[in-house]
Amino acid sequence: MGLSLDIVDAIEPLAEDWDALADRVQAPPHLYASFLDAWRRSLAPREDLYVVIARSGSELAGVLALCGSRFGLSTPPRYGRAGGVASDGAVLAALWSHALRKLRPGAVRLGPVVKGGSARAAMLAASRDAGFPVAEWAHSELTSIECEGGWDTYLAGRSKNLRKDLRRRSRRLSERGEHAFEFHRGPAAAGPPFDELLVLEGAGWKGREGTAIVSSTNQLDFYRSLAAWTAGRDALGVSILRHEGKAIAANLCIDFHGVSYQLKAAYDERQSALSPGKLLLAADIERAFAAGISRIDLGGHAEDYKLPWATSSEPVSEAEAYLTGPRGGVRRLARQMHHRVSSRPGERVS
């Protein structure tokens, strides 16, 4: 049966079928309608939204969400790592082709996205078929831990310095009094443990720099909505390291389809000599192995503190396709200037 394609501007009428499709293909949480709806309501209420949908008969087969602006279209933040929800690669390519053909944006940006993934391949193929020149920039790396062979085997494979430091910090923590590691799951995590993480993060450097969750009412609304949704699916996790009963480190994660996505981490800077964040991360990784998690997505950029823990990394890039003619040319020139000023790796145009 062939595909029928359409473009709508609302999430709600599709939400149930969209989330069901995401469940079937075991999509990451940020590709669910519930995630995108929470993001849009809290952080982007004025963004134009185009939802490209594909149906096979009466069944939803694919969804691609794009945000619009005077510059063109882009995948929403966090959304670009997969680029859409589809039953297979052919459906994903059809979604991109329909968006480019019907919307005719001056430019469309996908990113950051794993270079070896189906999202990038579908977007690049559709852009070339539509006659859109494409530029691509190296962005970062996505680091993760493949949970194979058990915790002991994994730890033995880490560097000697990391293992020695963990033993030393753990011994020092024990010498200073009682401590305990806690892990809260589902609705229980969304209550006091989540609030403790917010307080801990807001009291540290993220609070001083204005990047903590509590630094923005809109950001706080988004994370509370996200916590409520994932807690209802029993996917929300909050881990806490306590010393003498007081939280000195906390991590926020979402476990979806056997993958643990690390979202936020905070620690009490007054206890930095104990490296509570490092000790809690080690406990979280051990917990993931014991729980049968297949992979831990360390999230964000390949920061230095993540590299000693990671067992794999994937190159990530941004890709942008341009409509031929003045509109696309102006946008392409603007992006070239932006990347030169920000000293990113060079552009590859195809």
Residue-wise pLDDT tens digits, 268-299: 999 999 999 999 999 999 999 999 999 999 98
Contact 94, 54 (CB under 8 A): yes
Distances (CA, A) of 310 to 7, 159, 281: 40, 11, 12
Superfamily of domain 148-293: Gcn5-related N-acetyltransferase (GNAT) (3.40.630.30)
pLDDT at 162 over 80: yes
Q: What is the pLDDT of residue 133?
A: 85
Q: Comparing 2-16, 70-84, 94-108, 329-343, which segment has the lowest mean pLDDT?
A: 329-343
Whether the per-residue pLDDT at 347 is higher than 50: the answer is no
CATH 3.40.630.30-classified regions of the chain: 148-293
Give residues with Cβ within 8 angstroms of 45, minimum separation 6. none
pTM, two decimal places: 0.89
Q: What is the pLDDT of residue 107?
A: 84
Closest CA to 172 of 99, 272, 249: 272
Q: Which amino acid is at 170?
A: S
DSSP conformation class of 186: G
Burial class (CB in 10 A: 0-12, 13-18, 19+), 325: exposed
- Site of tokens 């501007």: 9
Structure tokens at 236: 């929300």
3-141+316-349 — its CATH code?
3.40.630
Q: Over 90: is that where the pLDDT of 46 sits?
A: no
pLDDT recorded at residue 83: 75
Contacts of 133 (CB under 8 A, 6+ apart): 127, 321, 322, 324, 328, 332, 349, 350
Please write the tens of the pLDDT for every residue from 295-346: 999 987 778 889 999 999 888 888 888 876 545 545 555 555 454 444 444 4
pLDDT of residue 1 exceeding 80: no
